[in-house]
Amino acid sequence: MIRIDNLVKSFGPSNAVDGISFDVPQGAFLVLVGPSGCGKSTMLRMLAGLEQPTSGTVTFGEKVVSDGAKGWTIDPAQRDTGLVFQSYALWPHMTVAGNVDWPLKVAGMGKPERQARVTEVLKMLGIEALAARYPNEISGGQQQRVAIARMIAPRPSILLFDEPLSNLDAKLRVEMRTELLRVHRATGATSVYVTHDQVEAMTMATHVAVLNKGRVEQFGTPEELVQNPATAFVATFVGTPPANLVPISILPAARRGGLPPDGLAMYRPEDIGVSEVPDATTVAMDFAEASPVAGRTMLTGISGALRITAVVDAKPRLTVGDQVHFVLPETPAALFAPSGERLS
């Protein structure tokens, strides 16, 4: 449904998006995830038609909607897309029903059909009782639902979300994730969702593009990214908690056999144990924190810039600053070069 081909967006001498290419299947829920400044919002704005590419193309179905080399882009209103911003951007002088009705009116839909569609989407989002209220009379979560209802009312084939949950509290974010997925399934549209929160990415997506410094580090399903990270960046960015990368040079002698002298060894938190006493398989670190997770304990130690996290059955009796001994598996789950490329 969406094809991105060697897309570049430059601002002055730097590229916010630097040669990105991927295909998004019809009906997919793609999440663009990465740290601040990685280019994900710029990507979404180019999909929406709010930014023109410096080079490369964007294709929806069989139709090219942006071509950087030719210097043209189809107007946002002609792209058959819907967009929800982080700020919701509701019209304050219009009621909830008026906000949802407006894009239908602009599209030339007749009044009876518009009224029926407004009622339908408000009911779909569970906010039909708010139809006569104004945005300043409803909560943030309700405003978000109105913004989503306004987006899907014209039945766009592509839904675009720019960090739509970042202004909500933690509990409401979880509830709205479920709501957004329900809306996605109900509409059958192809969705592209931008977030810096990898938990959102991994719980919502059918496909994930991990961005870093304007490039795609890896594109795939959430399972592929967790089980087979292509780069050191992906390994330490996805997963809850993410994988540990330990310099091979500091591994215990009993764990360095057969490994290259430099590079990084990946160990999954659930594969690391904790011992009360050091031996030939342990790495000693300063205890930093422990927190419960799904009936187990996530325990973290630090040593300089290195952090190791293990998921263990019982929380050791430690206080911050105590020494903790992590027991590493005999074989790392993966190896990465010092530059980040995966070796095995």
Instruction: Tell me the domain boundaries of the chain.
Output: 2-237, 244-336
Statement: residue 315 has pLDDT above 80: no
pLDDT at 109: 94
Statement: residue 176 has pLDDT above 90: no
Statement: residue 14 has pLDDT above 90: yes
Q: Is 248 helix (H, G, I), strand (E, B) or coil?
A: helix
Q: Residue 280: how many CB atoms within 10 A of its CB?
A: 8
pLDDT at 261: 85
For 310, residues 6+ apart whose C-beta sits below 8 A from its C-beta are: 269, 270, 272, 273, 274, 298, 299, 300, 326
pLDDT one-digit tens code per residue, 94-111: 999 999 999 999 989 999
pLDDT at 318: 85
Q: What percentage of residues in the chain have a pLDDT greater than 90?
A: 79
Side chain identity at residue 32, one-letter code: L
Q: What percentage of residues in the chain have a pLDDT greater than 70?
A: 100
pLDDT at 339: 93
User: 244-336 adopts what CATH topology?
Assistant: OB fold (Dihydrolipoamide Acetyltransferase, E2P) (2.40.50)
pLDDT at 258: 85
pLDDT at 168: 82
Q: Say if residues 158 and 192 touch (Cβ distance below 8 Å).
A: yes
Statement: residue 286 has pLDDT above 90: yes
> Which stretches does DSSP call E strand in 28-179?
29-33, 55-60, 63-67, 72-73, 81-84, 158-162
> Which of 267, 268, 270, 275 shows the shortest CA–CA distance to 325?
275
Q: Give one word for 34, left, alpha or beta, with left for phi > 0 and alpha for psi -120 to 50.
A: left
Statement: residue 332 has pLDDT above 90: yes
Q: Say if residues 73 and 66 touch (Cβ distance below 8 Å).
A: yes
pLDDT at 319: 87
Give the span between the Cα atoms of 17 and 185, in whole angstroms: 30
Per the listing, tokens 């009705």 go with 101
pLDDT one-digit tens code per residue, 210-255: 999 999 999 999 999 999 999 999 999 999 899 999 999 999 888 8
pLDDT at 158: 96
Per the listing, tokens 């009360």 go with 276
Give the span between the Cα atoms of 115 and 325, in whole angstroms: 66
Angle between helix 140-152 and helix 96-106 axes, rounded to 10 deg: 20
Rounding to the nearest 10 degrees, give the CA dihedral for residues 339, 201, 238, 23: -40
Statement: residue 86 has pLDDT above 90: no
How confident is the model over 143-148, as a mean pLDDT? 91
Tokens standing for residue 210 = 């991990």
CATH class of segment(s) 2-237:
alpha beta
Give the span between the Cα atoms of 201 and 158, in whole angstroms: 18
**334: pLDDT confidence band, cut at 50, 70 and 90?**
very high
Sign, Cα dihedral of 57, 63, 66, 69:
positive
**22: pLDDT confidence band, cut at 50, 70 and 90?**
very high
Statement: residue 54 has pLDDT above 80: yes
Statement: residue 299 has pLDDT above 80: yes
